[in-house]
Amino acid sequence: MRSVCEFAGLGDVGRTGLSVKEVGERLRRFAYIERRLMFIQAGFVVTVEERNFKVWLARLQYQAGRRADLFRKRLPELRLPKTKIDSVPSGGLSTWLDYLSYAPDSASKWLALRSVYRQLLSAYESYLSVTNPLADAPTVEALEPMVQQLTRICEMFDTENGLSHWPSDSLQNGKRFAAALDHRLGATGDVNNAANATIALSDAPAKIPHKTFRDSSFPRVWDYVTPPQTDVAQYLAYMMGLRLSEINVAEGLAVVLNETAEKPWEFYYDLSRHLWDEARHSLMGEAAIVETLGDRGQIPIRDYEGVYCMEASPLEQYATLGLEIEGANMKYPIGKRGEWEFCRDAAKHRLMTLFQDYDWADEVVHVNIAKAQLSHWFEGGAAGLSEFAAQGKLNRSKVKHRHPAVPMPALEQLEPSRKD
């Protein structure tokens, strides 16, 4: 009887498998698709109205970025020249993904992405079935968890309740769009291999409209009146609203990500992480509202910051966010530590205390990312960058004062109603 740990449990190590060159070409295609998916889904974060789909897209775009990053790190190990890593592996793939970026509505985006993820899952499973698991062990180790992740994603896209949000005519239009998307891929091969056929390339991916899209999940106000911390219930509601409204920042970062050209991969990957963090923070606000009040619509989302993010240039927006807003949050006793201590000591709200602890940790990461990236991006030196960010904060304040703020609703209870 053969030992289960023979050949380290790798399986069929006698399989001929793929050559280093063949692996490099396949992984280059995978890296390109995942990178494009990161950008496209980040853009969809802005244009999708449905709250639940919007925040899931924020997660999906970061997961795509992580998978792309793993492939990119593997490619130099396969003797692939660095100059080829970011090149377009085939015009067909470019056309396919450009077309995806033009998905006209949420149903089309859902069904088209479902098709793309099915293609990726099939391609990665096929790859694992043919490569030699011993010779190509580093790729196998990276791909196996990806297959698990993509399987879960496909299951979520297949759920009936995910498709129940749209009327039948929208679903029919979405199915037609997804079929047209599949045709563009089929005309040029598949995710694994390119065929000889070619089709005309589109001019460019779709541009992101500079406006925010919202469904009716939450009431909306222009801004909140900041209550005194001595009014514990109202200040806690204010903090939940602040976290909830960070979806505005996530959408702004999607614009920065897509409209900033010719930066190294690390820049885009950092912004993808930052985008997902801001969506996570928004979900923290939502989760705290639901756990405390039972209905996420009890606290409104504020709009002004989203308007500013859509009006500012990408450089101004990112400099203002990273240096003037998040940078200022590092001060004490105000700032992130102060927010955490308020939730812990004054509100005694166990869930918001936990969320603020992680929000604070994330903000430290974001400030460090912004300082590093902006030092390369801004050409005017540190003093000029500081002045530029300060002017951005002033512009943000002007947007904020276009309309009056409203008082926050007082919470009827401070602790979550659901107990562990």
- Looking at the structure, tell me whether residues 176 and 295 fall in a common domain: no
**Domain CATH number, residue 30:** 1.20.1260.10
| Per-residue pLDDT at 190 | 65
Cβ neighbours of residue 279 closer than 8 Å, sequence gap 6 or more: 45, 54, 55, 58, 59, 246, 247, 250
**Are 240 and 332 found together in one domain?**
yes
| DSSP character string of 343-376 | IIIIS--HHHHHHHHHHHHHHHHHHHHHHHHHHH
Residue 294: CATH number of its domain: 1.20.1260
Residue 228 domain-assigned (yes or no): yes
Under DSSP, the state recorded for 27 is H
User: Residues 151, 244: one domain?
Assistant: no
State whether 37 and 148 are in the same domain: yes
* Lookup: tokens for 104: 């006209």
Residue recorded with tokens 């936990």 = 354
- CA 292 – CA 51 distance, rounded (Å): 20
Same domain as 182, residue 227: no
Examine residue 337 and state whether it is found in any structural domain, yes or no.
yes
Among candidate residues 186, 212, 234, the one where a domain is terminated:
186
DSSP H or E stretch at residue 302 = strand 301-302
Whether 210 is covered by a domain: the verdict is no
Same-domain check for residues 175 and 240: no
Q: Both tokens of residue 285? A: 């606000």
The confidence score (pLDDT) of residue 86 equals 87
Does 178 lie in the same domain as 75?
A: yes
Same domain assignment for residues 20 and 67? yes
Please give the average pLDDT of every successive group of 10 residues along the chain, which has 420 residues: 80 93 95 97 97 97 98 96 88 91 95 96 96 97 98 92 81 94 73 51 74 95 96 94 98 97 94 98 97 93 97 96 92 91 95 97 94 88 90 97 92 68
Q: Which range of residues forms the domain containing residue 146?
A: 11-186
Overall number of domains in the chain: 2
Is residue 120 in some structural domain? yes
Residues 292 and 228 in one domain: yes
Q: Whose CA is closest to 317, among 257, 404, 401? A: 257
182 and 224 both lie in a single domain:
no
